[in-house]
Structure 1
Amino acid sequence: MSGPYPDDNAAYRQQPVPRPREPGQVTSGRAAVPVPAPADPFAQGRPQADPLAQGQRPADPFAQGRRQAEPLSQGQAAPVVTSAPLARPGTFLPDQPGGPPPGPGDEERPRDRTGPSGRTSRLRIGWHAVPRAGLRRMTAGQPAPAGLLIGRDQQQAPVPLRLFAPEPVRVTLVGGVWAAQLMLFRAFAAGARVVVVTTEPHAWTGFGERATGQQHRLTVVAAEPGGPYSGTAQTPLLTVHDLGLSGPMTSPPLGPWHSQLTVLRQLDRAGVPALQEASLVVMQRLGGDEATLAAAALKLRPHSGQLLQSMNDDMMVLIGDGDDRYLFLNQTGIEQQYIGLPRR
């Protein structure tokens, strides 16, 4: 349409379209002049924007050493999430890998281990199941020999002395009062009561009280008491004959759980009957004449005479039961305190 007025639309199309103004810019005519943003006086106390909210993820400082998750292969499937209840902590089912593996012959065992309340039994930490075939191959170790421990041999095996038994036991010791008191000190630990028949009572005075703290555990007499007396398995009776160079004139009668210990401080021909009548003989180191006499009386092997003379102060030899056993006494600190160091 023509008219006195110019075409406003055409004039409008010829005008440049202004660009939207960006923050921090002002226009001066047609050119944008950058203007620095004013400082925010409250920016220090304002919480920083969360980069996760803006779609950004902060750098993981442990990403380099972390093993990346492997994608599922075509044959694998993600675990199925079900609504089945979780197992109670501390329990297991027989078919689960957490329980003990079944062994041969366990098929007849019930699969559900339940208690009186009907609940599954708790898991035992450190449970180890042994098959029945393995149980048949298990054997108990050899029990320790019974008797009064008097020492250990060169292999550190204990050497017992069967001093107390239901039947009477007669033992002869060739040695000093120190060795006799060491044997009594250990016999007290077995609950024994002791009667000492001696010609030197001063050597035994106060020993029972020091060793046991009681006055009735050891009795010192000058003559053989009457008899026969007997003890019990809990309180055996021991009669000690400390008469010097020989044993008692006659063998006193002994009852059950009653033992006799004859102490020969020196060995000569007067003491040979005490050696031959004893079921067990214990000796400390002997002199030349003593060793020759003992080897002949006990019918020892030819080289035994030299061994009897070469023992240390803390050694003894036990002769009886078909074997000669040389042993170390292994004296404890308490025994040294009440008896002293080894000597004859």
Structure 2
Amino acid sequence: MSTPSSSTAPGGRARRGFGLIGPRRGRHTVSLDELGSLGLPVGDDGAVIGVDAEGRPAVLGINRPTPYEVTLIGGLWTAQVLALRAAGTGARIAVETGRAQAWTSLAQAAGGGQPCISLHDVGRVPPQGASAGSPVVVVRDCGMRPPRGRVASGPWQSVVTLLPYLSPVAPRLMKKSALVGVQRVSPDESALIGRIMNLSSTESQALSTLADGVTLWCAGRDRQFVMTQATDAETGLLGSARRMD
């Protein structure tokens, strides 16, 4: 490797390694009052699960160092899109399901040949060994009354429970979950969910009229309607958004 050349600056001063002096320009500076204009709209780290009412990306940070429980009262399509996108963030997905045939194509197609989505019978999910370098999302697709099993959330292992409707176990699951998603339900169900989640009358009434692919996500007092829009690859694999299966 050659050594840097040297040159002589005006006044006879040697400038080693920097070549000729270039043109002088003003420095790129901003005043303190102008700093606010440089802000960037950076959201949370996680999977993009759709867009909000203003068309901004809605991001779900599902890989966490603390236990994280999610309950989704909705359709299989939305749960499968969430699983795919969580896998895209580097998480391993363990699906506990009594309808493995509904998940087989997804498990085979995900990960580009890598086994990132595994399927397990109800009550048969083995320890996953979750860690910061290998986070896990357990998707429980166990029908209206998912049994109490040994699957639990923990550090770097989140649990997403899918309920097709508001079942008798739903209130307990909703109250212990950090995040609850609700898709289109009947007017009676929407009224009950509104009471459980302390929704406004407008939010509660909207639940019975939501379009396919729209979910009301609730975390504490935060509420956000999100439209999940499938990519071309997701549509080819899962079909169009639908509430019913």
TM-score norm. by structure 1 comes to: 0.61
1:322–1:339 CA distance, 2 compared to 1 (3 A): same
1:262-310 Cα deviation digits (max 9, x unpaired): 0001212232211111110112211222212211222222222211112
Structure (1 or 2) with the greater helix fraction: 2
Is 1:151–1:159's contact at 8 Å kept on the other side of the alignment?
Answer: yes
1:315 equivalent in alignment to 2:214: yes
The whole-number CA distance in structure 2 between the counterparts of 1:301 and 1:128 is: 55
**Cross-structure match for 1:291:** 190
Residue identity opposite 1:281 in structure 2: V
Q: Out of 258, 268, 275, which is 2:167 matched to?
A: 268
Alignment of 1:208-287 (within 5 A): 208-214=107-113, 216-225=115-124, 229-250=128-149, 252-287=151-186
1:232-262 Cα deviation digits (max 9, x unpaired): 3343101111111123325733332100000
Is 1:245–1:266's contact at 8 Å kept on the other side of the alignment?
Answer: yes
1:119–1:156 CA distance, 2 compared to 1 (3 A): same
**Cross-structure match for 2:5:** none
**Cross-structure match for 1:179:** 78
Identify unmatched segments of 5+ residues in structure 2: 1-8
Task: Give how far 1:146 is off.
Answer: 2.5
**Cross-structure match for 1:301:** 200
The whole-number CA distance in structure 2 between the counterparts of 1:240 and 1:314 is: 18
**Number of residue-to-residue matches in the alignment:** 233
1:1-41 Cα deviation digits (max 9, x unpaired): xxxxxxxxxxxxxxxxxxxxxxxxxxxxxxxxxxxxxxxxx
Is 2:110–2:117's contact at 8 Å kept on the other side of the alignment?
Answer: no
Residue identity opposite 1:333 in structure 2: D
1:40-97 Cα deviation digits (max 9, x unpaired): xxxxxxxxxxxxxxxxxxxxxxxxxxxxxxxxxxxxxxxxxxxxxxxxxxxxx99xxx
Q: Out of 14, 17, 35, which is 1:138 matched to?
A: 35
Is 1:230–1:254's contact at 8 Å kept on the other side of the alignment?
Answer: no
Alignment of 1:98-177 (within 5 A): 115-117=15-17, 119-123=19-23, 129-131=27-29, 134=31, 137-139=34-36, 140-142=38-40, 143-177=42-76
1:136–1:115 CA distance, 2 compared to 1 (3 A): farther
1:208–1:134 CA distance, 2 compared to 1 (3 A): same
What root-mean-square deviation, in Å, do the aligned CA atoms of Structure 1 and Structure 2 show? 2.9
The whole-number CA distance in structure 2 between the counterparts of 1:189 and 1:298 is: 30
1:184-222 Cα deviation digits (max 9, x unpaired): 111111011111111111111131221323252111111
1:113–1:195 CA distance, 2 compared to 1 (3 A): farther
1:156-196 Cα deviation digits (max 9, x unpaired): 12211221111111001111211110101111110111111
Which of structures 1 and 2 has the larger relative contact order (alpha carbons within 8 angstroms, sep 6+)? 2
Structure (1 or 2) with the greater strand fraction: 2
The whole-number CA distance in structure 2 between the counterparts of 1:159 and 1:145 is: 9
The whole-number CA distance in structure 2 between the counterparts of 1:270 and 1:167 is: 24
Is 2:152–2:159's contact at 8 Å kept on the other side of the alignment?
Answer: no
Is 2:123–2:150's contact at 8 Å kept on the other side of the alignment?
Answer: no
1:120–1:249 CA distance, 2 compared to 1 (3 A): same
**Cross-structure match for 2:239:** 340
1:324–1:118 CA distance, 2 compared to 1 (3 A): closer
Helix, strand or coil at the partner of 2:104: coil
1:136–1:314 CA distance, 2 compared to 1 (3 A): same
Residue identity opposite 1:121 in structure 2: I
TM-score norm. by structure 2 comes to: 0.83
Helix, strand or coil at the partner of 1:206: helix
